[in-house]
C-alpha cells in the first residue's frame, strides 16, 4: 500500500476510491462503505481517476472493468507502471463473470475481483480483508525498518567501542610512562611498552608477576605502604620518587598513581602508572649547583625588565591615542544615529526604551524622548509570536504592523491620532556564545503608511480593471452568440446553394457571400481567442498527435488557392522526425494555418515552403526540440517592423487592407499560442524577397508508435465519404440551423429526424433510437447539457453518441462537454468538413470515387423539365468521346483544360450540376499537375455518360 503522503490508519477506517461510470453502482458502494466508517471518493473515468490520485492517494481502489474512455485493465496497468501508485491495492468490479477477465485482472496487478450485483457482506468482507492485510504489511515494513535502524545503531555503537578501545590501546602503547594492571589477587596481567622500557623486561616476563611477593625486597619495602593504602581505601594514591629496583636489579626513582579497580564495591584489581623520574631526581641535584649562577642571571634580567618597562610606557601613550580616535569615531556614529532619516530606538532586555532618535519620534508625532518613555517593545509593537523564538536565538526579524496612535494621544496631545503602518526591523544586541541572556534590542522603524495607501489604491484599480475585463468578456460572449446565430444560417445555406447554382455570375456572388461570412467568423474567433489568452482561460491540451496528418490536411486545405495563384507548395519533412509527438494538435494546426495562410496571402509568385525538423538531445532521448519554418517568396517585411507585426491589432505599415485584408490579430495569437506550448517564434525577412517564420517548440515528448494509429493512413477526402444507412437526430430550436445540416446529411445517405427542444429530443430518441444525435446547447426549457445527462442515464439511449453544437466559445466548451457526457462538440457556424469528420468517427462509411457519388448525390438535383433534354445532352457528349479517347492516350494539359471547359459549359446549358463539377475537377487537377488523380478522373468519363443514359 502506498504511504507517500498519508499516515497509517486502522483497518476499520480507510480511504476508498470508487472508479465507475454507473451512478447506481457508485451510489450503492458508497452508501455501504460510508455506513461502515470508510471515507469514499468517486471518479467516473480514467482522467478523473488520475486527477483524484494526484490530490490524495487512497488506501484501496474499487475499479470498474468497463469505463467510457479507458477500460479498467488499462488503468490498472498504468497505475502499476508508476512507483507512487504501485502499492495501492486494486479490486476489480464487473457485471461479467468471465474467468478470462478475472485472470487478466490479476495479471495486470489486481488483488481481487467482485462481480455485480454486489452483496454488501461480500464487499465489506473483501475490502476489510485486503485493507487489513495491507495495513498489517505496512506495519511490518515500518517495524522492520525500525529494527534495521536499531541494528545499524548497535553496529555503529559496537564499531565506536572497538575504535575507542583501539584508540586507548594505541595511547597506552605509545605513552612514555609505564602502565601495568593487576587482578584482584595482585597478579599483573597487562603491561604496556613504556613499562617494558622502565623495567627492562618484555611484557611476557612482566605479566604473571605477583606484587609484594615476586619483586625485589627493597622495592617491596618502599612500594608496599602505597599499594596497601590504595587497596584498603579503594581510593587513588600518589607516590613520588620512590627508590626501587627493577626486576633486573637496576636502581630507579619512580613516581605515579595507584588506582584501585572496583566491582560491586569491592577491590577487583589495580591500575598503576609508573614514571621513571631518576633523571629528574639527578637533575634537581644539579640545579642546586647552578643556583648561584641563576642569581647572576636575575640581575641581568632586571636590567631587561627596566627596558621593557620603558617600551610599555610608549605602548600606553599609543593606546591613549587610539582611544581618542575611538571616541571621535563613536561621536560620528552618534551623530549618524541622531540625524538618520530612519527611525531608530534602543531597548533593554525587558523591552523598556533606553534611547530614541528624532526620526523615530517624528514617526509618532512626538518631540522629546521623554514622551516615548512608556513605549514597551513587546507590548506596543505587536511582534508576531512565530518570530519571538528566532529573535531570542539571535536572528534579525522584520515584519509590518498597524500601530494605533490613539493609545499615546491621551498622554501626548501632539502625537498623531490616526493609525499608521510600520515596517519594523529588530536586532538582538550583545549576544555571544558564553552568555545566556541578552542585553538589549536595536529597533529600526519606517513609516510605510503612504505605501500601504498606494497599495490599497492599486488593489482598487486592479479590481476595477478586472471588473472591466469581466464586462468585456461578457460582452464578447454575448456579441459572439448574437453574430453566430445569423452567421450559422448565412454560411450553412450558402454552402448548400453552392451545390445547386450553375450560373457563373451567381456562383461568383455566392462565393463573395461565403468569403465574407468566413472572414467575419475568423475575426470573431480571433477576438475571442485573444480575449481567452489575456484572461488566462485558454489551456493547452497535450495528446499524442500524428504530425503527418496535419501536414496532409494543410496541403488539402490550401490546394485550390495555391493552384489559383499558380504557386508551388513544398512540404519538407526531415526523415528523422518521430511519427507521434505529445502536443496540442488543435493549437498547432491553428498556428500553421495562420502562418501558411499569411504566406499565401502575401505571395503572388514563387513558392511557399513548410519545413519540419527535430533536434535530439543525448541526455533526454524521449524529448526533441521541434523546429517548424514557413518560408515564402512574397512581399517581405521591413526590418523595423518585424517585431511590431506580433502585436495585437498591428499590421505592417503601408499594407493595403483593401488588397490583403486582416485585423492584425493572427500573428499576435500565433505568438502567444507558441509561447504557451513552451516555444518561441521569430521572423527573418527581406523586402521584395520573402519571409521566413520559424517556430521552436522545446522539450516535446516523443510518444511510442505501437500505441497509436496506423501512420500510413492519409487524410480522408470528406467529399468522397458515403455513409452506410443510418439515422441522425438533429436537435435545435432554430429552423435555419437545422435545415442546412439536414440537407447535408441527406446528401450522404443519412436519414434525419428533427427536434426543437429537449423534451421532444428525449421522446424521439426513445422511440427511434437514432445512430447519432446532434444536440444544440441553448434549448428552451431544458438545455442541451440537461437533455444529454438524461439520455446518458437512460439504459435505452445510453449508448447513442451525442455531439454538442455550441456558439459560445468563450467558455471551456471541452470541459463542459466532458462533464455533461457529450461524445464530442462542434462550434457554430457548423463547417461541413468538421461535421463530416466528426460523423465519420461514429458512423460507418465507405470511400467512393468522384463518379460513384454522382448518382446518389447529384441526379436528384436535375429538374423535371431539364430531364427531357437529357437525350440531346447525351448526343453532345457522344460527339466529344473521340476527343476523350485521344486525351486518354496523350496527356496534353492544354487540351484536357479545353475538354474540361466543354463539359462544364454543357452542364450549365442543360442545368446538370454534376457535369459542371466534373469539369471544374479536371481543371483543378491540370492546374496542380496531379497526374495520378487526373488520369483516374479522366478515365471515369464513359461511366458518367453511361449513368446519364441509364436515367433516360
String of DSSP letters for 189-207: EEE-HHHHHHHTS-HHHHT
CA-CA distances (angstroms) from residue 385 to 352, 382, 392?
19, 9, 12
pLDDT-based confidence at residue 279 (cuts at 50, 70, 90): confident
Average pLDDT of the segment spanning 635-654: 70
Mean pLDDT value across residues 492-497: 65
606: left (phi over 0), alpha (psi -120 to 50) or beta: left
Instruction: Give pLDDT, residue 473.
Output: 62
Ramachandran assignment for 370, one of left (phi > 0), alpha (psi -120 to 50 degrees), beta (any other): alpha
**Quick check: 755 and 729 in contact, CB under 8 A?**
yes
Could you tell me how many helices (H) and strands (E) the chain has, helices first? 33, 29
Please name every residue paired with 569 in a beta bridge, in sequence order, or none if there are none. 608
| CATH code for the structural domain at 175-278 | 3.30.450.20
Chain CA centroid to CA 519, Å: 37
Average of pLDDT values for 230-234? 88
Cβ atoms < 10 Å from Cβ of 21: 18
pLDDT band for position 814 (cuts 50, 70, 90): low
For 743, the 3-state DSSP assignment is: helix
**C-alpha dist (Å) from residue 272 to 170, 184, 258, 819, 915:** 18, 13, 5, 90, 126
Query: What's residue 10's pLDDT?
Result: 44
User: Which of 28, 23, 65 has the alpha carbon at shortest distance from 46?
Assistant: 65
Q: Which pLDDT belongs to residue 754?
A: 92
pLDDT band for position 44 (50/70/90)? confident
Highest mean pLDDT, choosing among 122-136, 239-253, 685-699, 889-903: 685-699
| DSSP-assigned beta bridge partners for residue 632 | 608
How far is C-alpha 281 from the geometric centre of its chain's CA atoms? 83
Instruction: Name the average pLDDT for the chain.
Output: 79
The yes-or-no verdict on residue 839 having pLDDT over 70 is yes
Homologous superfamily in CATH for domain 332-448: PAS domain (3.30.450.20)
Identify the CATH number of the domain defined by range 540-702. Answer: 3.30.565.10
Q: What is the DSSP letter of 212?
A: T
DSSP 81-144: TSTTTTTS-EEEEES---HHHHHHHHHTT-SEEEESSPPHHHHHHHHHHHHHHHHHHHHHHHHH
| 3-state class (DSSP) for residue 641 | helix
Q: Grid coordinates standing for 423? A: 515596517
Q: Which CATH superfamily is domain 718-847 in?
A: Response regulator (3.40.50.2300)
For position 250, what pLDDT does the model report?
Answer: 67
- Give whole-number Cα distances, 159 to 511, 514, 797, in Å: 92, 89, 75
Beta strand spans in 782-857 (E): 802-806, 824-827, 845-847
Separation between Cα atoms, residue 607 and residue 600, nearest integer Å: 9
210, 186 Cβ separation under 8 angstroms:
yes
**Residue that is written with C-alpha cell 500553421 in the block:** 592
Q: What is the pLDDT of residue 420?
A: 84
Question: In this structure, are residues 180 and 274 in contact, taking their beta carbons and an 8 Å threshold?
Answer: yes
- Cell triple for 102: 478475472
The rounded radius of gyration (Å) of the Cα atoms in the chain is 49
Nearest-5° Cα angle at 816, 812 to 818: 120
The residues pairing with 686 across neighbouring beta strands, listed in sequence order, are 690
Residue 96 has pLDDT above 70, yes or no: yes
Q: Give residue limits of the domains in the chain.
A: 15-143, 175-278, 332-448, 540-702, 718-847, 867-950
Q: Say whether 332-448 and 175-278 share the same fold.
A: yes
What 3-state DSSP class applies to 647? coil
Cell numbers placing 586 = 488543435
**CATH number, span 15-143:** 3.40.50.2300
Amino acid at each position: 500500500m502506498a504511504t507517500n503522503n498519508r499516515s497509517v490508519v486502522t483497518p476499520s477506517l480507510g480511504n476508498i476510491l470508487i472508479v465507475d461510470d454507473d451512478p447506481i453502482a457508485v451510489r450503492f458502494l458508497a452508501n455501504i462503505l460510508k455506513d461502515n466508517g470508510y471515507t469514499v471518493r468517486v471518479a467516473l473515468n480514467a482522467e478523473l481517476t488520475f486527477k483524484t490520485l494526484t490530490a490524495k492517494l487512497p488506501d484501496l481502489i474499487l475499479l470498474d472493468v468497463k469505463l467510457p474512455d479507458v477500460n479498467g485493465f488499462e488503468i490498472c496497468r498504468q497505475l502499476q507502471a508508476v512507483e507512487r501508485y504501485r502499492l495501492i491495492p486494486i479490486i476489480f468490479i464487473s457485471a461479467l463473470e468471465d474467468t478470462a477477465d478475472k485472470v487478466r485482472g490479476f495479471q495486470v496487478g489486481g488483488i481481487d475481483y467482485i462481480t455485480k450485483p454486489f452483496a454488501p457482506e461480500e464487499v465489506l468482507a473483501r475490502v476489510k480483508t485486503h485493507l487489513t492485510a495491507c495495513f498489517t504489511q505496512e506495519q511490518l515494513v515500518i517495524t522492520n525498518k525500525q529494527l534495521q535502524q536499531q541494528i545499524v545503531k548497535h553496529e555503529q555503537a559496537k564499531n565506536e567501542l572497538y575504535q575507542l578501545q583501539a584508540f586507548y590501546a594505541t595511547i597506552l602503547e605509545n605513552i612514555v610512562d609505564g602502565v601495568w594492571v593487576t587482578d584482584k589477587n595482585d597478579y599483573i596481567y597487562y603491561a604496556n611498552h613504556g613499562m617494558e622500557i622502565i623495567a627492562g623486561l618484555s611484557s611476557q616476563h612482566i605479566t604473571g608477576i605477583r606484587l609484594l611477593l615476586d619483586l625485589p625486597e627493597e622495592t617491596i619495602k618502599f612500594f608496599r605502604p602505597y599499594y596497601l593504602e590504595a587497596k584498603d581505601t579503594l581510593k587513588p594514591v600518589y607516590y613520588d620518587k620512590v627508590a626501587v629496583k627493577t626486576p633486573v636489579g637496576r636502581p630507579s626513582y619512580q613516581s605515579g598513581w595507584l588506582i584501585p579497580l572496583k566491582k560491586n564495591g569491592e577491590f577487583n584489581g589495580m591500575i598503576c602508572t609508573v614514571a621513571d623520574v631518576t633523571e629528574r631526581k639527578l637533575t634537581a641535584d644539579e640545579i642546586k649547583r647552578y643556583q648561584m649562577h641563576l642569581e647572576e642571571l636575575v640581575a641581568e634580567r632586571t636590567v631587561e625588565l627596566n627596558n621593557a618597562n620603558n617600551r610599555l610606557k610608549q605602548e600606553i601613550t599609543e593606546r591613549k591615542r587610539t582611544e581618542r580616535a575611538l571616541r571621535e569615531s563613536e561621536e560620528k556614529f552618534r551623530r549618524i544615529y541622531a540625524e538618520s532619516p530612519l527611525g531608530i530606538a534602543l531597548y533593554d532586555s525587558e523591552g523598556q526604551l533606553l534611547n530614541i532618535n528624532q526620526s523615530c519620534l517624528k514617526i509618532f508625532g512626538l518631540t522629546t524622548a521623554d514622551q516615548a518613555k512608556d513605549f514597551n517593545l513587546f507590548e506596543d509593537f505587536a511582534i508576531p509570536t512565530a518570530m519571538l523564538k528566532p529573535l531570542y536565538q539571535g536572528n534579525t526579524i522584520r515584519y509590518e504592523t498597524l500601530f494605533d496612535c490613539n493609545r499615546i494621544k491621551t498622554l501626548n496631545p501632539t502625537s498623531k491620532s490616526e493609525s499608521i503602518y510600520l515596517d519594523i526591523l529588530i536586532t538582538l544586541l550583545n549576544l555571544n556564545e558564553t552568555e545566556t541572556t541578552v542585553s538589549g534590542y536595536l529597533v529600526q522603524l519606517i513609516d510605510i503608511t503612504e505605501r500601504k495607501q498606494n497599495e490599497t489604491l492599486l488593489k482598487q484599480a486592479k479590481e476595477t480593471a478586472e471588473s472591466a475585463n469581466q464586462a468585456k468578456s461578457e460582452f464578447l460572449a454575448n456579441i459572439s452568440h448574437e453574430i453566430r446565430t445569423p452567421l450559422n444560417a448565412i454560411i450553412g445555406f450558402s454552402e448548400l446553394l453552392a451545390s445547386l447554382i450553375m450560373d457563373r455570375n451567381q456562383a461568383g456572388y455566392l462565393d463573395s457571400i461565403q468569403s465574407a461570412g468566413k472572414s467575419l467568423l475568423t475575426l470573431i474567433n480571433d477576438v475571442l481567442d485573444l480575449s481567452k489568452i489575456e484572461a488566462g482561460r485558454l489551456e493547452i491540451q497535450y495528446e499524442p498527435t500524428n504530425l503527418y496528418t496535419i501536414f496532409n490536411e494543410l496541403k488539402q486545405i490550401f490546394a485550390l488557392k495555391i493552384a489559383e495563384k499558380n504557386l508551388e507548395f513544398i512540404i519538407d519533412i526531415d526523415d528523422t522526425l518521430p511519427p507521434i509527438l505529445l502536443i496540442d494538435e488543435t493549437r498547432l494546426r491553428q498556428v500553421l494555418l495562420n502562418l501558411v495562410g499569411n504566406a499565401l496571402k502575401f505571395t503572388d509568385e514563387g513558392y511557399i515552403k513548410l519545413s519540419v525538423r527535430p533536434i535530439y538531445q543525448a541526455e533526454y532521448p524521449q524529448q526533441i526540440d521541434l523546429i517548424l519554418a514557413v518560408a515564402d517568396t512574397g512581399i517581405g517585411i521591413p526590418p523595423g517592423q518585424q517585431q511590431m507585426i506580433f502585436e495585437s491589432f498591428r499590421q505592417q505599415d503601408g499594407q493595403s487592407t483593401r488588397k490583403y485584408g486582416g485585423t492584425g490579430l493572427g500573428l499576435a495569437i500565433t505568438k502567444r499560442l507558441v509561447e504557451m506550448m513552451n516555444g518561441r517564434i521569430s521572423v527573418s525577412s527581406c523586402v521584395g524577397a520573402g519571409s521566413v517564420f520559424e517556430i521552436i517548440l522545446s522539450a516535446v515528448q516523443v510518444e511510442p508508435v505501437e500505441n497509436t494509429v496506423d501512420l500510413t493512413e492519409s487524410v480522408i477526402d470528406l467529399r468522397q465519404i458515403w455513409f452506410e444507412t443510418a439515422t441522425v437526430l438533429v436537435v435545435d430550436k432554430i429552423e435555419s440551423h437545422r435545415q442546412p445540416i439536414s440537407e447535408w446529411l441527406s446528401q450522404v445517405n443519412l436519414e434525419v429526424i428533427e427536434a426543437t427542444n429537449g423534451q421532444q429530443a428525449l421522446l424521439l430518441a426513445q422511440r427511434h433510437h437514432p445512430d447519432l444525435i446532434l444536440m444544440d446547447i441553448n434549448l428552451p426549457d431544458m438545455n442541451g447539457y440537461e437533455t444529454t445527462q438524461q439520455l446518458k442515464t437512460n439504459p435505452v439511449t445510453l449508448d447513442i453518441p451525442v455531439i454538442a453544437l455550441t456558439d459560445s466559445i468563450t467558455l471551456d466548451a471541452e470541459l463542459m462537454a466532458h462533464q455533461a457526457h457529450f461524445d464530442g462538440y462542434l462550434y457554430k457556424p457548423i463547417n461541413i468538413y468538421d461535421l463530416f469528420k466528426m460523423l465519420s468517427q461514429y458512423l460507418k462509411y465507405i470511400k467512393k470515387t468522384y463518379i460513384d457519388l454522382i448518382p446518389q448525390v447529384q441526379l436528384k438535383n436535375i429538374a423535371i423539365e431539364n430531364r427531357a433534354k437529357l437525350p440531346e445532352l447525351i448526343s453532345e457528349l457522344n460527339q466529344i468521346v473521340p476527343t476523350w479517347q485521344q486525351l486518354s492516350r496523350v496527356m496534353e494539359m492544354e487540351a484536357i483544360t479545353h475538354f474540361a471547359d466543354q463539359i462544364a459549359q454543357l452542364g450549365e446549358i442543360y442545368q446538370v450540376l454534376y457535369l459542371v463539377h466534373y469539369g471544374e475537377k479536371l481543371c483543378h487537377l491540370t492546374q496542380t499537375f496531379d497526374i495520378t488523380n487526373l488520369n483516374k478522373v479522366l478515365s471515369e468519363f464513359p461511366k458518367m455518360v453511361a449513368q446519364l443514359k441509364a436515367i433516360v
